[in-house]
Amino acid sequence: MKKFNIIISLKLKLLTEIVFSFILTIVYLGTIAWYFLVPYFMKHEDNIDVEFGNFLISIYLISALLFFVMCFLLMSNRHIKYIKYIAKEVNLIASGNLGKNLEVKGKDELGELCININSMSKELKDKFEYERELERTKSELITNVSHDLRTPLTPIIAYLDILRNEKFRTKEEEKEYLNSSYNLSIKLKKLIDELFEYTKLSSKEVVLDLVEVDICPILNQLVGEYAPMFESKELRVVTQISDAELPVKIDVEKMVRVFENILSNAEKYSFKPSDIIVKADNKGDNVVISISNKGEYIEQDKLSRMFEKFYRVDLSRSSNIEGSGLGLAISKKIVELHNGQIEAECDGEIITINIKLPINCNVGGLR
């Protein structure tokens, strides 16, 4: 109904301008006739020149037609200027000035056209920036991953060459080479899997399988699974999880991946022996999950970069620690897909990662 009214609006404007131009032309005809033609014909009614009279009437009618056209053009001139303005701005958008907004004047078709052009311009800009970011990410991934891919591949090829040419001396040595090749292959597979996962999460087509759950049992179960491994490495897990239900709408599999990444990171970089503290509580409209560990002090500028892909806080230590450098970047992508936030803070030797998840919200990517 609204669109119908908008279409009628411009037609009415044009019709009104035509009618008004016609009325002015009638006034013009009457004025010219009353002050010039009628006095002339009355004065020369006895000896009027028919040919000259016809000429005057022709001039009179032609001038009326020109007057009508001039009036209509003057009144519709703003529409013409607006159309020229739209054409000029569209050319600027076509030349690469994406995201440019046109001034919307009125609520007729031209105004609606400007609104549609603005929407198209923004959509094109967003798409272009997304494609450019995707290309930049792809190039960055290739650059950063090339070294990580070569690292396990080189010894795998060397071990397989030894086995293929039977250069080992004993069965134990053969088994050792096989085990090393297998372990390095697993490491390589893990890296490739994480690359695929990060790329998939960066896509706009990613879909979350959302269900409403109580986050507390999930955390308790996960901590229980990790506790034996932590204890074997002189790490104790301390839980401070709310007794009350903390309902959130999440993709359980993906969110468990987030907690696993953070716990794995805490295990790798914690001082031994020390405690890893897992907290979960309700704060306002959010459920806040915090995982803290004791490790080396991290400066604020490095904390803000922890969730960048391939970023490692301490390169000298990281070279001896397994991992692709994508774990926290993947975690950030997943949390943001849930309309949540993830951040790191450091208080002396205590490093804490906080995850905020909305209790009730409409989450993007719902299936």
Same domain, 185 and 234: no
Same domain, 237 and 327: yes
Same domain, 59 and 162: no
Same domain, 198 and 322: no
Question: Residues 73, 95: contact at Cβ < 8 Å?
Answer: no
Per the listing, tokens 């028919």 go with 50
Spatial separation of the C-alpha atoms in residues 197 and 309, rounded to whole Å: 12
The answer to the question of residue 179 being in a domain is yes
Q: What φ, ψ does residue 243 adopt, rounded to 5°?
A: -75, -25
Which helix H or strand E contains 346, and what residues bound it? strand 341-347
Same domain, 177 and 301: no
Spatial separation of the C-alpha atoms in residues 309 and 198, rounded to whole Å: 9
Which helix H or strand E contains 181, and what residues bound it? helix 171-202
Q: Which of 259, 262, 234 is nearest to 351 (CA)?
A: 262
Same domain, 249 and 280: yes
Question: According to the model, what pLDDT value does residue 249 have?
Answer: 92
Same domain, 193 and 312: no
pLDDT 10s digit of each residue in the chain, 367 long?
344 444 456 677 778 888 888 888 888 888 888 888 777 777 777 776 777 778 888 888 888 899 888 888 887 777 778 888 888 888 888 877 777 788 787 777 777 888 888 888 888 888 888 788 777 777 766 666 666 677 778 888 888 888 888 887 888 888 888 888 888 888 788 778 877 787 778 777 788 889 999 999 999 999 998 888 899 999 999 999 988 889 999 999 999 999 998 998 888 889 999 999 999 999 888 999 999 999 988 888 888 788 887 666 554 444 444 555 678 888 999 999 999 999 999 998 999 999 999 985 444 444 4
The answer to the question of residue 136 being in a domain is no
Q: At 310, which CATH number?
A: 3.30.565.10
Spatial separation of the C-alpha atoms in residues 296 and 114, rounded to whole Å: 57
User: Which residues form the domain of 179?
Assistant: 144-202
* Residue 272, both tokens: 């031994």
Work out the angle at residue 122's Cα, subtended by the Cα atoms of residues 119 and 123, and round it to the nearest 5 degrees. 85
Q: Which of 93, 86, 92 is nearest to 108 (CA)?
A: 86
Same domain, 44 and 164: no
The answer to the question of residue 351 being in a domain is yes
The answer to the question of residue 109 being in a domain is no
Same domain, 195 and 223: no
Same domain, 219 and 341: yes
Question: According to the model, what pLDDT value does residue 196 have?
Answer: 79
Q: Which of 14, 6, 12 is nearest to 114 (CA)?
A: 6
Q: Where does a domain end: 202, 235, 269?
A: 202
Q: Which of 2, 10, 4 is nearest to 105 (CA)?
A: 10
Same domain, 232 and 321: yes
Q: At 183, which CATH number?
A: 1.10.287.130
